[in-house]
Amino acid sequence: MNTTVTSDMHVVIITGASDGIGAEMARQLAQHDGAKLALVLAARSAQGLENTAVQCRALGAHCLVVPTDVAQEDQCRSLIAQAVAHFGHIDTLVNNAGVSAQALFADVEAQDLHWYQQLMQVNLWGSVWCTHAALPHLQARKGRIVAVSSLAGLIGVPGRTAYSATKFAMTGFFEALRLELAPSGVSVTTAFPGVVLTQIRYHGLNAKGHAAGSSGLREDKGMSVAHCVRLIIAGMQAREREVVMTTAGKFGRFIKLFAPSIVERMVMNALKDEVKPR
């Protein structure tokens, strides 16, 4: 155990912390809590993690960098074990790592369909494995779990059959887990960002399972990463069940029950013309 970290320090594990929402969440937490915070930063990019760690250490936070591919169960469990060995406890687990995808199902060839399974491995199973390994430590501290899902995990989006499937799965898993853990004092907050101005869609997969290099969504009204993270942190700290971030998302979620055709039109309007079903 790192003797510079005491039992009253808040230890937070963030997956997908090399850029985007994860890196910004680490920075905002460090800016707010400084020396009272210990961050465990995980992602595949070691250099990206080091960049995030340098920024957070400059704000006074303790940081442990653990390069991790959450698609591998052993690496997820090793991440949690290293966090506990280094800092002694865990207070919060943020399941943020994820991969996006944009492809019409009819355009995916049979030999390429395996990447649907790979996407589920990252987006769902990475969260499941990390959460399972961290659970006893979180229960000991009456800690917090955060799952970063998507509005595509509440409303199906054309061209995002794979991504929506993974995010709907996350939504269901963490909703059920929230009820299971309520007696233990561990909170589960699921965040549902809409279009956030990160590179996730550009790094996401196309019909061939390769990096798309572009976004299929209109981004002129996208939310800044900083604002998205502020909403997630506020929800986490208040131990809210869910954080639905946009008015359209809140409206769409409930109107879907009574007038699904309206929601379908809203979704289609959010797509660029070149990626709409033809």
Q: Which amino acid is at 85?
A: A
Measured between alpha carbons, how far is 241 from 17 in angstroms, rounded to an integer? 23
Measured between alpha carbons, how far is 3 from 131 in angstroms, rounded to an integer? 25
CB 91 within 8 A of CB 237: no
Q: Is 163 a catalytic residue?
A: yes
Distances (CA, A) of 4 to 11, 38, 58, 221: 13, 10, 16, 44
- DSSP conformational letter for 145: E
Helix (H, G, I), strand (E, B), or coil: what is residue 277? coil
- Of 115, 116, 129, 163, which one is the catalytic site residue? 163
Across 16-88, the runs of DSSP E, i.e. the strands, are 37-43, 62-67
CB 188 within 8 A of CB 177: yes
Which residue is listed with tokens 């899902």?
149
Length in residues, the chain: 278
Q: Looking at the annotation, which residues are catalytic? A: 163
